[in-house]
């Protein structure tokens, strides 16, 4: 019997901080990332792929601002921009993964599902924006844009500059989760919960409406993995393993940690918000609610024995 794995790609797997964001760049990155899925397919996994959209949705916002200033085009709210990013990133991933499969004589249908995710409009996250989106700026650039657009910026914990931050409410219910599970278990590769999903809430009974926010894709992916009873949850990032005292002389990489240890490290402040902290929180959520393992690792180490950091129940 095939296992079901949920693989969460970061937005930077498709658009890196040192790139302009051309479609050619993103297609090549998607192709390279997709090649790393082969080892899981060969290990008898059915797959659901999720992805971030931080760089892309930030660029969409900038294009909206420019279009409004130059041509008086109406600016789209953040939930619509997330939907935009789900569509075009899903298209790129579908196409490049298809290219990888055909190059390796494999045949699977690949299906992108535009995914809404229910949130609470009274979530305290709306009063404390922490989710970084868009490109990195210098302090002077960030101050100028903040003044012009009333945006909020925060310093990157890894020293790469300043990024816009927005509200990131906790995901509650994944839309179309039954269909996602059924399609994946039938052998299709499903791309879902792009960018953490399109945030929506019930403005009144039986009436959904979008809300201005970006849901953390790792937390949404974790919730999806639990709700479809996945066998394993993979969180992909740009470092090979989770580290304590990251980027200091006392840095220590972790091979295997329990949920209890992970919670203690979180409380001790080892993991930055907007960076590793939500990945650890997502892994804890999956392991506690499923009893199965989560793995945080670099894209190139996906499926490699002893690759990455394994989070376990005990």
Active site residues: 11-12, 131, 217, 279
Give yes or no for a contact between 123 and 169, defined as CB atoms under 8 angstroms apart. Answer: yes
Q: Bridge-partner residues for 298, per DSSP?
A: 237
Give yes or no for a contact between 153 and 137, defined as CB atoms under 8 angstroms apart. Answer: yes
Those residues whose C-beta lies under 8 Å from the C-beta of residue 83, and which sit 6 or more positions away, are 114, 198
Q: What six digits make up the tokens of 312?
A: 């376990």
Q: Measuring CA to CA, how many Å separate 14 from each of 10, 30, 89, 166?
A: 8, 5, 8, 21
Phi, psi (5° rounding) for residue 154?
-135, 150
Q: Bridge-partner residues for 162, per DSSP?
A: 137, 155
Give yes or no for a contact between 277 and 271, defined as CB atoms under 8 angstroms apart. Answer: yes
CA 85 – CA 170 distance, rounded (Å): 20
Within the chain, how many helices (H) and strands (E) appear? 9, 17
Outline where the chain has alpha helix (H). Answer: 23-35, 38-42, 54-71, 78-103, 139-149, 177-185, 217-227, 259-267, 277-290
């Amino acid at each position: 019997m095939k296992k079901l794995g949920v693989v969460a790609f970061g937005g930077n797997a498709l658009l890196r901080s040192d790139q302009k964001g051309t479609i050619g760049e993103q297609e090549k990155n998607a192709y390279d990332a997709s090649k790393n899925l082969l080892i899981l397919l060969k290990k008898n996994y059915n797959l659901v792929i999720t992805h971030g959209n931080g760089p892309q949705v930030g660029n969409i916002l900038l294009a909206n601002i420019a279009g409004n200033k130059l041509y008086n085009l109406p600016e789209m709210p953040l939930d619509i921009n997330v939907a935009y990013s789900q569509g075009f990133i899903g298209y790129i991933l579908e196409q490049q993964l298809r290219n990888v499969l055909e190059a390796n004589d494999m045949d699977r249908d690949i299906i992108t599902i535009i995914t809404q995710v229910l949130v609470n409009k009274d979530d305290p996250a709306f009063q404390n924006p922490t989710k970084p989106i868009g490109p990195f700026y210098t302090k002077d650039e960030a101050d100028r844009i903040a003044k012009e657009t009333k945006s909020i910026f925060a310093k990157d914990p890894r020293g790469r500059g300043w990024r816009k931050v927005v509200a990131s409410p906790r995901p509650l219910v994944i839309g179309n989760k039954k269909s996602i599970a059924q399609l994946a278990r039938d052998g299709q590769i499903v791309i879902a919960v792009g960018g953490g999903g399109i945030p929506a809430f019930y403005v009144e009974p039986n009436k959904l409406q979008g809300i201005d926010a970006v849901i953390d894709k790792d937390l949404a992916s974790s919730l999806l993995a639990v709700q479809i009873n996945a066998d394993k949850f993979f969180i992909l990032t740009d470092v090979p393993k989770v580290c304590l005292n990251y980027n200091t002389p006392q840095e220590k990489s972790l091979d295997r940690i329990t949920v209890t240890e992970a919670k203690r490290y979180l409380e001790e402040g080892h993991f930055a918000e907007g960076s590793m902290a939500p990945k650890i929180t997502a892994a804890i959520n999956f392991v506690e609610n499923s009893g199965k393992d989560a793995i945080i690792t670099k894209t190139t180490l996906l499926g490699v024995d002893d690759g990455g950091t394994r989070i376990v129940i005990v």
